[in-house]
Amino acid sequence: MTIPRLKIPTPRVSSYRTAHSLKQAVHHTRSIQKSLNYTGGRAVAYTDGWCLNEGRRNAKAGFGVFWYPGCAYNFCGNMTGKQDSHRAELCAVSTAILMAYLLNKPGITIKTDCKFVITSYKMPKEWRRRVTLSCDSLSIDI
């Protein structure tokens, strides 16, 4: 697995302006990082991928990772390369896993509506070794 260059969004600058001291700013940052939605000791991420005009020349695909309303780490992005909803769904899941890893979260529960993602997770290991996914500057072997 290659280490991707994904920037995790940081809290908005205005929240730092409201902090009256460095101590409050540090506490605010830590509380945001620890406040991901947890179920059974695992962070819960809702993922989705989509594609407009799929199969056509002007197709555009994107993906998103949603933790909870107002979370500074909710994330969305555009796909590069082949514009396809399956690739976008896989990219959303891999981004959520990567974000949990970079935030030092011990476990993650992915909630998705895509049967393709669930089937891909259950496919034989030899198939997984051959599948490569890349989105923006992110490259992950599945």
| Full pLDDT tens readout for the chain, 142 residues | 444 555 544 434 333 333 344 444 444 444 444 455 666 667 888 999 999 998 898 999 999 999 888 888 888 888 888 898 989 998 899 888 888 888 887 788 888 888 888 877 777 666 656 655 555 444 444 3
Domain ranges of the chain: 13-141
Calpha distance 15→10 (Å, rounded): 11
Structure tokens at 135: 């989105």
Which fold is adopted by the domain 13-141? Nucleotidyltransferase; domain 5 (3.30.420)
Q: Is 39 helix (H, G, I), strand (E, B) or coil?
A: strand
Q: What is the pLDDT of residue 60?
A: 92
pLDDT digits (tens, 9 = 90+) for 67-97: 888 888 888 888 888 898 989 998 899 888 8
